[in-house]
C-alpha cells in the first residue's frame, strides 16, 4: 500500500462537468429560445453565504445559465419570501430555485423550502424529492451527496458490497447520502454525535463519508487502512498567530497516510456541490 492516499480532485471533475453542461446548454438554447435560469434567494449579510452565492452565480455564468438572484434584507418577513417563491414557481424563465441557508432566526426555513415547486427544487431538498430518493424514483437529488456519488464514480470506486459508514445525519447530507449509497448496493451504517465509540464504527468503513461540521474530528486511528475517505466538512479555524484556514471534519495530514483515497478540503466535495446544483438546473430545463 502506498504511504500517501490518492487525492480525489473534486475541482477538476467539477470543471469537466461544467464543460459538459455548457455544451448541453448551447445545444438546447436555440430550440428552447432561452437559456436555463436559476434563482438564488439570499436573506441578510452572512459573509459565508454571500461568498457561496457569488460562487454559484459565477459558475452559472460560466455554463450559460441566467441568474435571477434576489437579495433580501435581514429584516425580510416570511410572507415576503413566500411571495417571492410563488412568483418564481410560475416564472417560465426560471428552472431552478434555491434558498441560501442559513436564514435569520425569525424565518422558518422548512416552510419556505416546502413552498418551492419540487420540479424547480435545485437543491433537491423538497420532501417530494426526498421521497423520490427514498423510493428510488427519478427526481432532483440533494447536491452534496449527489456530488459525492459522482466523485466515487469518476475514480471507479464501486460501492456494491462495500461497507459505507456515513457520519452525520442531517437532511442536507447525511440522510440522503446514506440513501444514495444504499441505492448503489453498499451496506450502510449511519453514525452521529451520540454514537458511542465512534472510532470503532468508523474503522469498519470501506467508504467513510464524514459530514458533521466538527474540525478534524476523524483521526488516522479511526480510518481502516485502505479506506476511501470523503470529507464533506468545511470549517474555518484560526491558529495561534491569528491566521485562519479551512479544514475538513477529517484530520487530513494523518488520515492521508492510512486511506487509499481521500478528498482534500478545500477542492474536494465543495466544487462538486456547485456542479450538481448546475446539473439539477439543466435537468429541470431539459424536462420543462
Mind listing the pLDDT tens digit of every residue in the chain (288 residues)?
447 999 999 999 999 999 999 999 999 999 999 999 999 999 999 888 898 899 999 999 999 999 999 999 999 999 999 999 999 999 999 999 999 999 999 999 999 999 999 999 999 999 999 999 999 999 999 999 999 999 999 999 999 999 999 999 999 999 999 999 999 999 999 999 899 999 999 999 999 999 999 999 999 999 999 999 999 999 999 988 999 999 999 999 999 999 999 999 999 999 999 999 999 999 999 998
pTM above 0.85, yes or no: yes
Domains and CATH numbers, the chain: 30-117 (3.40.50.10860), 142-270 (3.40.50.720)
How many CA atoms within 13 Å lie on the side-chain side of 216? 12
Q: What does the chain come to in residues?
A: 288
Tell me the binding residues. Answer: 168-170
> How buried is 203 (Cβ within 10 angstroms: 0-12 exposed, 13-18 middle, 19+ buried)?
middle
Binding residue ranges for NADP(+)? 168-170
The set of catalytic residues is: 56, 100, 123
List b or e across 6-19, with b for residues whose CB sees 16 or more CB atoms inside 10 angstroms.
Answer: ebbbbeebbeebbe
CB 52 within 8 A of CB 274: no
Amino acid at each position: 500500500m502506498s504511504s500517501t492516499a490518492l487525492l480525489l480532485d473534486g475541482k477538476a471533475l467539477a470543471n469537466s462537468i461544467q464543460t459538459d453542461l455548457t455544451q448541453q446548454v448551447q445545444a438546447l438554447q436555440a430550440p428552447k429560445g432561452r437559456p436555463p435560469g436559476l434563482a438564488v434567494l439570499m436573506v441578510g449579510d452572512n459573509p459565508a453565504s454571500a461568498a457561496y452565492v457569488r460562487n454559484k452565480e459565477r459558475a452559472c455564468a460560466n455554463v450559460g445559465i441566467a441568474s435571477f438572484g434576489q437579495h433580501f434584507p435581514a429584516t425580510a418577513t416570511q410572507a415576503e419570501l413566500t411571495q417571492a417563491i410563488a412568483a418564481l414557481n410560475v416564472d417560465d424563465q426560471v428552472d431552478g430555485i434555491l434558498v441560501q441557508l442559513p436564514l435569520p432566526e425569525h424565518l422558518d426555513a422548512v416552510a419556505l423550502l416546502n413552498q418551492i415547486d419540487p420540479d424547480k427544487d435545485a437543491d433537491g431538498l423538497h420532501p417530494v424529492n426526498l421521497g423520490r430518493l427514498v423510493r428510488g424514483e427519478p427526481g432532483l437529488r440533494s447536491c452534496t451527496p449527489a456530488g459525492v456519488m459522482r466523485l466515487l464514480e469518476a475514480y471507479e470506486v464501486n460501492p456494491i458490497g462495500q461497507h459505507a459508514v456515513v457520519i452525520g445525519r442531517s437532511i442536507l447530507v447525511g440522510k440522503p447520502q446514506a440513501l444514495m449509497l444504499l441505492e448503489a448496493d453498499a451496506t450502510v451504517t449511519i453514525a452521529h454525535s451520540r454514537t458511542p465509540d465512534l472510532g470503532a464504527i468508523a474503522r469498519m468503513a470501506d467508504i467513510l463519508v464524514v459530514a458533521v461540521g466538527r474540525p478534524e474530528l476523524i483521526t488516522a486511528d479511526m480510518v481502516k487502512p485502505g479506506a476511501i475517505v470523503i470529507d464533506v466538512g468545511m470549517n474555518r479555524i484560526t491558529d495561534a498567530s491569528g491566521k485562519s484556514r479551512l479544514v475538513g471534519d477529517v484530520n487530513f495530514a494523518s488520515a492521508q497516510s492510512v486511506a487509499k483515497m481521500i478528498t482534500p478540503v478545500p477542492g474536494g466535495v465543495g466544487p462538486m456541490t456547485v456542479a450538481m446544483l448546475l446539473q439539477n438546473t439543466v435537468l429541470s430545463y431539459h424536462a420543462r
